[in-house]
Amino acid sequence: MPDSTYILPAYVLLGLPFFAFLILWLAGKNLNKLAGWAGALITATGLFVSIKYADPGMLHVVHFNWLTIGSTSIDLPFRFDTLSFVMLIVVHFVALLVQIYSTAYMHGDKNLHRYFAFIQLFLFSMIGIVLSGSLLVMYIFWELVGLSSYLLIGFWYFKPRAVWAAQKAFVLNRIGDAAFLTGILMLFYYIGSTDFEVLALEVNHLDTGILTAIGLCLFGGCMGKSAQFPLSGWLPDAMEGPTPVSALIHAATMVAAGIFLLARIAFLLTIDAQLVILIIGTITMLIGAFKAMTAWDIKRVLAYSTMSQLGLMVIAVGFGSWQTALFHLVTHAFFKAGLFLSAGSVIHAVMPSHADESFDPQDMRTMGGLRKALPITFLCFSICAAALAGLPFFSGFLSKDAIITEGFLWASNFGLFGYLFPVLVIFSAGLTAYYMNRQIWLVFFGDQRFNASPNVHPHESPIAMWLPMGVLSALSIFFWFSFNPFNASGWFLHFIGVNEAAHLSWVPIIASATTFLAIFLAYRQMKAPDPFGVNGSKTAPETEKLSWLRDYSQEHYFIIPFSFITNYLMRIEKRIVDRFVDLVAKSSVVFAHVISWVDRTFVDGGVHLTVFSIRSAGQAVRSAQNGKIQSYFIVTAMGVFLLILWLVVM
Amino acid sequence: MIDHILSLLIAFPLLGAVAVAVWPSQRPENFRLIALSALILEFLTAISLYFIFDKQNGGYQLGEVSDWITLPIGSLGIISIDYALAVDGISLPLVLLAVVVLFVGVISSWNMGQKTRAYFSLYLLLTGSVIGCFLAQDLFLFYLFFEFMLLPMYFLIGLWGGPRREYAALKFFIYTFLGSLLILIVMIGLYLSVIDPLETAKVVGILGSEDMIHPDLIPQIQQWLIDGKIAPEQLVHTFRFAYLADLGNYIPGSLLSASAGYFIADIPIRLLAFWFLFIGFAVKLPVFPVHTWLPDAHVEAPTPISVVLAGILLKIGGYGFIRIVDGFFPAEALYSTIPLAILGMISIVYGGFNALGQHDLKKMIAYSSVSHMGFVLLGIAAFTAEGINGAIYQMVSHGVLSAMLFLLAGVIYDRTHDRRIEHYRGLIQVMPQYTIITGIAFFASLGLPGFSGFVGELFTLMGAFQSNLLPVWIPAFSTIGIILAAAYFLWTYQRMFFGSFWYKNGPTHILTDLTVREKGMLFPLVLLTILLGILPGLLFDISGPTVQAWVDGLK
């Protein structure tokens, strides 16, 4: 198909959600009933268009002219290729399911039209990122994704924690975005374009050091959006938003944008940049995994787990294999969205029928034994959890296996120290298996602790909720990605361009062994007298306070340094700058006085004009204390006069 | 009419000012109707100017020149001051901005209760002076308008302002007046050094009438000047921008002649003159450390005056940098570009941090202005087409956005007379429309793509990155400003608008949503910021050719 045929889909894919956003937002509450299904219909159309225009293996670019200034002409290119095709399918598909789910989950909310409008705005921006053909276009949509995330996290604007979390997410993202923008502008300076095609051709002419700097700046954007250390603090807090939003944005799509960015720019990452990326990814993966093991909030466990998995994808890019990162991105999008939707179903089920302040429907310590009341949810949750934990026959096993294999291949080139990374990945996979077991046990097995509130009556969710969950868990099975459950290099990796995927036959064995060991350890905990410390006091465990990533209550990770600088600078402003300038102003009046004195004493006051000037200057200084404007006028006018005199005489 | 369209732009408000001052009736409604009709005429004229203007042409257009003062003063030559107006791609965007903002300002002044005659008279005087500043092509004329702006501004703050208005007005006056004093000093030096070659040719007698002008004439006169063939009393001294910008017109051995190379305390006198001019305009822009008048003036000024102050007056500083400081002293400007960019960078970051620490809504916005105008300085210091275009764009964008922000601050102040951010919570519950418009203004100001603020910041930063004169770390460090902008705007938004509704003092029923008049002021500005954000070509098409010619001329 020629490039020009792609103008229409570019308009449709971006235009539909944008106009849906405008209409739903402006239409007001009248559309509350219809909004969800209208949104789902539009997303389904988008999905259909993406599939219809799919042309895998080929590249189509559509250019829109934006502006020309100076020597810089700025086009807005949009790009259709295999990578954008995969992302389009994932984004549309998950969004479709989430919107169907939301019609039931958010039922009765009085601002439903706004909720679905914001979801459409998010889709508009996310599709923009996916289709962008240059980094500048990507940055534009990148920021808009930040906006929609802000609006959706803070959707329940009357909850202070939600609004705070929304703002925290936006500001932490902005830190990464500033670096991202710097990288983009450096590319404009050194190459003159951020078009991916141009970059691919020109990038070899650049000095390696500069290229490393650019790569790391661009990685800054990924650190914000994909919640990499140290900008990761916003992701757990973002769980204050509605649960379907967490599934769509903070598990499947938006947080994956950073990985998508890395996949797009993988060709310009130098060895040094890759190493830094690898280290950051590893730190994030481990922190996320450890935090997930101690959290009690059902959604926070999943959020930390998302962080950890994003770290894993970043590691894959660090190993130089963006394809496996994308592979994990896709499998993760399905099973993590499935987990969030199932968690939403659990929260929905244990929500007290009457408001009960003392009961937190998201706290796993007041759940337990829910598998009987929620059989479908239990099944879906378990399948997705198995995929996340990397059990054989599930999708997560394949993608993790692919990354670990790449890791060992990378390490064999790098040297002994390099083996640390794949080993840590396997270790973290073990942690994942452990905390998922813990979560399943806490939620679905053991005693029914939800009796803490008399108003809780668990019940299975309606079909609009369990159907999307079921679809997502079905997609977490291995055969959608590779027909051999023990060989990751199935059709999917071939599809995204890996022709000769490496396969080390011992990797699946080691990985599975670690997973099963972790499950065994978790099983021993379950049989312990106080499993996972669930019966302990409800105060936060000590480790949480000491951790690097502060929670809502300890909101001082970035705020302390910032507020320190702010207070300091305000003091400078008051005590020094303001006073200094005042001093200059006052001293010039004094100076005029001195000059006039000199004039009077030395120049001899014979000339009438001079006498006049002295007198007025003297009066001016005296009346300056009263703040009379005229006196300033006269003083300065006299000063000017003397200056003219001096210039003329010279 | 078309030949004198620029004069009309200045004349309408000034005539309006006179009309308001002498109108026989005492009814306050009449004064504001006169002011409104003057601004409507002004608006229509500006619109036609936009369509008459030839966008392809990078030079001055629609020029009007007539002799104003000609005075022989013996051995000091002949004083020649012209009434010269013209518009080009640098001034046109700012003229259009000024008209829009001043128009909104009049509507915002609608319920100005006391002394309406004086108020609207001064307001129209201010309007005429502002427009005059952007159109003047003679330094004397420019300076006249520049000073004329101060006087109404002083009274508008000092008489109609808040509790500490006298202090603020005086501070404003001292700062800007000392600034203009520095400009005046350089102006005198320039005047003594520069001649008008054509007028001189007439006096010398080699040019009989205007139609005998040929391209070799000016070089010939300039050569004579160098050879000393013209007697001092025959030299016609001038203030015209075009002649001040050409080093060939400087009298050899005069104070500011580049060839003479005088020094004061080991500093070349031209460099000193450059810095004097710079400081003069830096006060207006404002640039760290001479910005401290701005927060006080804004806090005390009544809403419409804050709007005009932030919306246009600051832009005269930026305009002066491009047209006068860099225009007359290009070599010195190129030499000083790193300190200029660093000052811009400090303004951006310093203003941002100070905005983060404010409790007063207007002060927060005022410091955010310092930060945003820092981008203007950074863009100008880059000396690239992208940077200068970006700076002009940023000025227009900030003009629209700061006008919006101060109007929004005015909305809440009108209702409660309380601007403290912590005194409000959950305003979304009682003022939903106000919340949405404020959200748009905040997000536009923090540089969200799709709004004008993003384009301005992007291109000033891009220009600074592309400049060969600046090290990369200056613009890279300046990006902290966009992080801070997100922090202070969103923090304010969260504190004032979200959560459950609460107001510290007094009755809460006075917190009503936007009135029709307020919406009428805010909606056009919202549309403008979105329009400029999506189609930045609207502005770049005007400024592009002129700036390109300007940048090429530097080389």
Residue pair A497/A326 in contact (Cβ under 8 Å)? The answer is no
pLDDT at B144 over 80: yes
User: Which of B454, B472, B494 is facing A163, going by the closest CB pair?
Assistant: B494
3-state DSSP percent of chain A in helix, strand and coil, to 5: 75, 5, 20
pLDDT at A619: 55
Of A280-289, B108-117, B452-461, B531-540, the least confident: B108-117
Q: pLDDT band at residue A594, thresholds of 50, 70 and 90?
A: low
pLDDT at A306: 92
Compute the average pLDDT of residues A305-324.
Answer: 90
Q: Two tokens at B506?
A: 């007094």
User: Which of B350, B476, B491 is facing A182, going by the closest CB pair?
Assistant: B476
CA distance A146 to chain B (A): 9
Residue pair B380/B391 in contact (Cβ under 8 Å)? The answer is yes
- Span B414-444, pLDDT tens digits: 888 888 888 888 888 888 889 999 999 999 9
**Interface touch A167/B443, C-beta < 8 Å:** no
Of A17-26, B63-72, B331-340, B452-461, the least confident: B63-72
- Span A345-363, pLDDT tens digits: 888 888 877 776 777 778 7
User: Which of B448, B465, B548 is facing A185, going by the closest CB pair?
Assistant: B465
Q: Residue A26: which residues within 8 A CB-CB, separation 6 or more?
A: none
pLDDT at A2 over 80: no
CA distance A157 to chain B (A): 6
From chain B, pick out residues whose CB is under 8 angstroms from the CB of A68: 537, 540, 544
Residue B508 vs residue B528, higher pLDDT: B528
Q: pLDDT band at residue B102, thresholds of 50, 70 and 90?
A: very high
Which of these, B374, B185, B180, lies nearest to B280 by C-alpha position?
Answer: B180
Residue type, A363: D
- Best of B182, B279, B354 to disrupt the A interface by mutation (most A CBs within 10 Å)? B354
pLDDT at B136: 92
CA distance B99 to chain A (A): 25
pLDDT at A499: 66
pLDDT at A627: 46
Q: pLDDT band at residue B341, thresholds of 50, 70 and 90?
A: very high
* Mean pLDDT, chain A, whole residue set: 80
ipTM score here? 0.88
3-class secondary-structure state, position A64: strand
Which of these, A48, A40, A38, lies nearest to A100 by C-alpha position?
Answer: A40
d(CA A317, CA A268): 12
Residue pair A56/A219 in contact (Cβ under 8 Å)? The answer is no
Compute the average pLDDT of residues A467-487.
Answer: 81
Of A279-283, B174-178, B310-314, the least confident: B174-178
Q: Two tokens at B59?
A: 């030079």
pLDDT at A144 over 70: yes
Q: pLDDT band at residue B365, thresholds of 50, 70 and 90?
A: very high
Q: Where are the domains of chain B?
A: 336-555
Q: How far is CA B202 from CA B191, B211, B219, B240, B247, in A?
A: 19, 12, 15, 17, 20
DSSP state of B251: P
User: Which of A569, A633, A639 is facing B350, going by the closest CB pair?
Assistant: A569
**Interface touch A171/B389, C-beta < 8 Å:** no
Of A369-373, B303-307, B341-345, the least confident: A369-373
Identify any residues that bridge with B237 across adjacent strands, giving them in sequence order: B79, B195
pLDDT at A644: 56
A266-296 burial, b if ≥16 CB within 10 A, otherwise e?
bebbbeebbbbbbebbbbbbbbbbbbbbbbb
**Interface touch B353/A144, C-beta < 8 Å:** no
pLDDT at B394: 94
pLDDT at A605: 45
Secondary structure tally for chain B: helices H, strands E? 24, 7
pLDDT at A550: 40
Q: Kindly calculate the radius of gyration of chain A based on its CA atoms and give it in whole angstroms.
A: 31
From chain A, pick out residues whose CB is under 8 angstroms from the CB of B486: 170-171, 174
User: Which of B170, B482, B498 is facing A178, going by the closest CB pair?
Assistant: B482
Q: Determine phi and psi for B311, rounding to 5 degrees.
A: -70, -40
- Best of A67, A69, A175 to disrupt the B interface by mutation (most B CBs within 10 Å)? A69
3-class secondary-structure state, position B63: strand
Q: pLDDT band at residue A561, thresholds of 50, 70 and 90?
A: low
pLDDT at A540: 46
pLDDT at B239 over 80: yes
Residue with token string 């046990």: A441
d(CA A253, CA A232): 16
- Cα angle for residues A260, A304, A535 (degrees, 5° grid): 165
From chain B, pick out residues whose CB is under 8 angstroms from the CB of A163: 494, 498-499
CA distance A485 to chain B (A): 45
Residue type, B369: S
pLDDT at A606: 45
Q: Residue B502: which residues within 8 A CB-CB, separation 6 or more?
A: B424, B425, B426
- Span A365-401, pLDDT tens digits: 878 778 888 888 888 889 999 888 888 888 888 888 8
How far is C-alpha B308 from the chain's CA centre?
10
How far is C-alpha B302 from the chain's CA centre?
20
Q: Determine phi and psi for B69, rounding to 5 degrees.
A: -125, 130
HSE-CB of A369 using CA atoms within 13 angstroms: 9
HSE-CB of B387 using CA atoms within 13 angstroms: 29
pLDDT at B453 over 50: yes
Identify any residues that bridge with B138 across adjacent strands, giving them in sequence order: B240
d(CA A401, CA A508): 6
Compute the average pLDDT of residues A183-204.
Answer: 87
Q: pLDDT band at residue A535, thresholds of 50, 70 and 90?
A: low
Residue A392 vs residue A96, higher pLDDT: A96
pLDDT at A624: 44
Residue pair A67/B537 in contact (Cβ under 8 Å)? The answer is yes
How far is C-alpha A312 from the chain's CA centre?
15
- Span A399-433, pLDDT tens digits: 888 888 888 888 888 888 888 888 888 888 888 88
Whether cis (ω within 30° of 0) applies to the bond prior to A375 is: no
What is the DSSP track for A162-227? HHHHHHHHHHHHHHHHHHHHHHHHHHHHHTS--BHHHHHHHGGGS-HHHHHHHHHHHHHHHHHHTT
Q: Two tokens at B382?
A: 């880059």
DSSP state of A597: H
What contacts 24+ positions apart, CB below 8 Å, involve A375-379?
A375/A460, A376/A460, A376/A461, A376/A466, A376/A469, A376/A470, A377/A342, A377/A345, A377/A346, A377/A349, A377/A460, A377/A461, A377/A466, A377/A469, A378/A444, A379/A473
CA distance A6 to chain B (A): 22
Residue B207 vs residue B221, higher pLDDT: B221
**Tally of CB atoms within 10 A around A360:** 19
Q: Kindly calculate the radius of gyration of chain B based on its CA atoms and give it in whole angstroms.
A: 24
d(CA A542, CA A532): 15
pTM score: 0.86
**Interface touch B350/A174, C-beta < 8 Å:** no
d(CA B466, CA B475): 10
pLDDT at B455 over 80: yes
**Interface touch A570/B353, C-beta < 8 Å:** yes
3-class secondary-structure state, position A279: helix
Which of these, A406, A398, A422, lies nearest to A504 by C-alpha position?
Answer: A406
Residue type, A415: G
d(CA A469, CA A342): 6
From chain B, pick out residues whose CB is under 8 angstroms from the CB of A177: 482
